[in-house]
């Protein structure tokens, strides 16, 4: 294998070609820094392209009284006080600049007749501050960033699977990987590395992620490099994922469907949100709506296939076609369902990793010199509940900041020290897997893992179930040593799946171990055996390897922001 090893050198390597990775790459290129972006799926089909609803910034185009401080207050309140106030300040204060950057790159935002950028309500926002392009905002952002990267001649390799970040003496010197098409190995030497490889929601059975994305790659790459993972137990379950067809289970029906006036009903026809949040109804926070739907289903009021009904058929057909075109198209293609006439059957689906790699608020450095993490790979902004629309603005704000930080780090290096041992270990790992010829099937182990997470670490959890999940996970981990990997004429996807599985079991262990430690109900994390919020657990849980969970205190919220926050209430937040 060593003979077909390619070597590339670049000042900064970006792992991940979604919105976060591309925004960082664009920033570096605009600063004249040599940058290479690599990804394991085509850049036009990165996960960002699925983000439907919109992107938040207190532009005050629709509601003049909106401010970044109010945006910060809403974000902190809905995080159930687990977000880092400094991270929140940086994102909300820098949000307008993030939108300006997109406009400068040619982003086609929806606009009012007088030219103002349109903004709409999303659940739990005080004012209208979600800008959008139809219901395919993420897709337009991704296209815009791809075009800007092309204008700047950014090198993008999107058939590259990174297996290790290379580190010597707590400083990065590059990464190792292989080409998904021909299997050739790559050594990439880089002064700095930006990790933007997404979250870990694919380790659940029903998820809004596609089959081979968000398998926890960022977690594994970071931990092997010497980083830590913060709050992996805090996973957002989106209320409205499709149930059918099976191969598309979990596909999102955008929150925009509720934002535009869609209603939720159970099998009995009851508009059940009146039981859980009578004031905000369907525009309540995602965690409450997801828990409400879960409870209705669990208590026997679900649809025949185990979901609830989301109905927009009472809305004018024109409104549906102009404001929810992708929802309309998706349902027509997947189910031959006309949403202007019939309701959609949905259920909660694993949607977003609110925890992630531990990073500093100011520059998203990881504690390993020259290694940064951004986007869904990182942590700090969302706490125990993410506001819809905050993830896309996070990419823009921290993509710019981290691009700048990586550029400055690279420029300041006197020399780069490399490690033959680290390189040999990375090379050996790939070669060992390539020669693995055991009886275990990678795909069946992935399914087993998803079943474990769904049964024992889903919307509602308890100590007994989590510990049972841990025992079952250990059994899957033991079977990984006996897998068989069989590359074929179509490429090296089988090898990629084996690495996906390694990442997924690490992410699952981090999630379950921190979920056991968080003995309370807070935001997305519902413990039926601990139904109350515990003030002593207003901390971040930091995982640094099997059995190692530490508590990290959270800085105080600045007075001007705290004054704009209401009480963090658990009303309407019922557990089983």
As annotated, the active-site residues are: 238, 258
How far out from the chain centre does Cα 226 lie? 21
Query: Cα-atom radius of gyration of the chain, to the nearest Å?
Result: 23
Burial class (CB in 10 A: 0-12, 13-18, 19+), 336: exposed
Q: Which residues contact 148 (CB under 8 A, 6 or more apart)?
A: 22, 26, 105, 106
Residues 354 and 524 sit within 8 Å (Cβ to Cβ): yes
Q: Which of the 8 DSSP states describes residue 133?
A: S
* 3-state DSSP assignment of residue 547: coil
Q: Which two tokens stand for residue 513?
A: 């171990």
d(CA 574, CA 333): 36
Burial classification of residue 189, based on how many CB atoms lie within 10 Å of its CB (0-12 exposed, 13-18 middle, 19 or more buried): middle
| In contact, 173 and 418? CB cutoff 8 Å | yes
* Residue pair 541/234 in contact by the 8 Å Cβ criterion: no
What is the Cα–Cα distance from 195 to 276, expressed in whole angstroms? 39
Q: How many CB atoms lie within 10 A of CB 246?
A: 6
Q: What is the C-alpha to C-alpha distance for residues 324 and 311, in angstroms, rounded to an integer?
A: 13
Q: Provide the H-helix boundaries in 235-357.
A: 256-259, 273-276, 286-298, 317-323, 325-335
Question: SS3 breakdown of the chain: % helix, strand, coil, rounded to 5?
Answer: 40, 20, 40
How many angstroms from the chain centroid is the CA of residue 533?
A: 25
Contact by Cβ (8 Å): 476, 445: yes
Q: Are 95 and 58 in contact (CB under 8 A)?
A: yes
CA 532, CA 519: separation in Å to the nearest integer? 9
């Amino acid at each position: 294998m060593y003979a077909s090893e390619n070597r590339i050198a670049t000042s900064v390597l970006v792992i991940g070609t979604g919105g976060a990775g591309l925004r960082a790459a664009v920033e570096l290129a605009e600063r004249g820094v040599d940058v290479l972006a690599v990804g394991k799926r085509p850049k036009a089909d990165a996960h960002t392209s699925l983000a439907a609803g919109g992107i938040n910034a207190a532009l005050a185009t629709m509601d003049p009284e909106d401010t970044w401080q109010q945006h910060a207050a809403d974000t902190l309140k809905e995080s159930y006080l687990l977000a880092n106030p400094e991270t929140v300040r940086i994102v909300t204060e820098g949000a307008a600049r993030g939108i300006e950057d997109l406009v400068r790159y040619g982003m086609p935002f929806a606009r009012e007749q007088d030219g103002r950028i349109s903004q709409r309500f999303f659940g739990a926002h005080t004012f209208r501050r979600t800008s959008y392009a139809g219901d395919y905002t993420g897709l337009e952002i991704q296209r815009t960033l791809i075009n800007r990267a092309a204008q700047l001649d950014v090198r993008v390799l999107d058939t590259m699977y990174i297996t290790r970040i290379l580190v010597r003496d707590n400083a990065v010197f590059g990464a190792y990987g292989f080409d998904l098409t021909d299997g050739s190995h790559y050594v990439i030497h880089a002064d700095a590395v930006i990790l933007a490889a997404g979250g870990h929601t694919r380790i659940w059975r029903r998820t809004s992620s596609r089959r081979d994305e968000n398998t926890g790659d960022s977690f594994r790459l970071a931990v092997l490099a010497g980083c830590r993972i913060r709050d992996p137990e805090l996973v957002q379950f989106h209320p409205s994922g499709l149930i059918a067809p099976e191969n598309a289970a979990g596909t999102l029906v955008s929150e925009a469907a509720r934002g535009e006036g869609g209603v939720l009903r159970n099998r009995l026809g009851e508009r059940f949100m009146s039981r859980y949040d009578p004031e905000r109804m369907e525009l309540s926070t995602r965690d409450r709506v997801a828990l409400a739907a879960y409870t209705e289903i669990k208590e026997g009021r679900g649809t025949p296939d185990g979901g609830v009904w989301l109905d927009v058929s009472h809305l004018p057909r024109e409104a549906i076609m102009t404001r929810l075109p992708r929802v309309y198209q998706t349902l027509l293609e997947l189910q031959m369902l006309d949403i202007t006439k019939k309701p959609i059957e949905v259920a909660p689906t694993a949607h977003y990793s609110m925890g992630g790699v531990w990073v500093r608020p100011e520059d998203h450095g990881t504690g390993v010199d020259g290694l940064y993490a951004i986007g869904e790979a990182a942590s700090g902004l969302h706490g125990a509940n993410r506001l819809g629309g905050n993830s896309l603005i996070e990419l823009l704000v921290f993509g710019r900041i981290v691009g700048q930080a990586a550029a400055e780090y690279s420029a300041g290096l006197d020399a780069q020290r490399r490690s033959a041992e680290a390189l040999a270990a990375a090379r050996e790992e790939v070669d060992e897997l390539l020669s693995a010829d055991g009886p275990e099937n990678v795909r069946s182990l992935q399914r087993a893992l998803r079943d474990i997470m769904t049964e024992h670490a889903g919307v509602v959890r308890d100590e007994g179930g989590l510990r049972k999940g841990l025992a079952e996970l250990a059994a899957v981990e033991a079977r990984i040593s006996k897998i068989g990997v069989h590359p074929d004429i179509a490429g090296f996807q089988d090898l990629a799946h084996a690495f996906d599985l390694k990442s997924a079991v690490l992410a699952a262990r981090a999630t379950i171990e921190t979920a056991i430690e968080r003995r309370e109900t807070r935001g997305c994390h519902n413990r039926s055996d601990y139904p109350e919020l515990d003030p002593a657990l207003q901390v971040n849980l930091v995982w640094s390897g099997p059995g190692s969970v530490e508590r990290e205190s959270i800085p105080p919220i600045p007075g001007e922001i705290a004054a704009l926050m209401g009480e963090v209430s658990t009303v309407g937040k019922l557990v089983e």
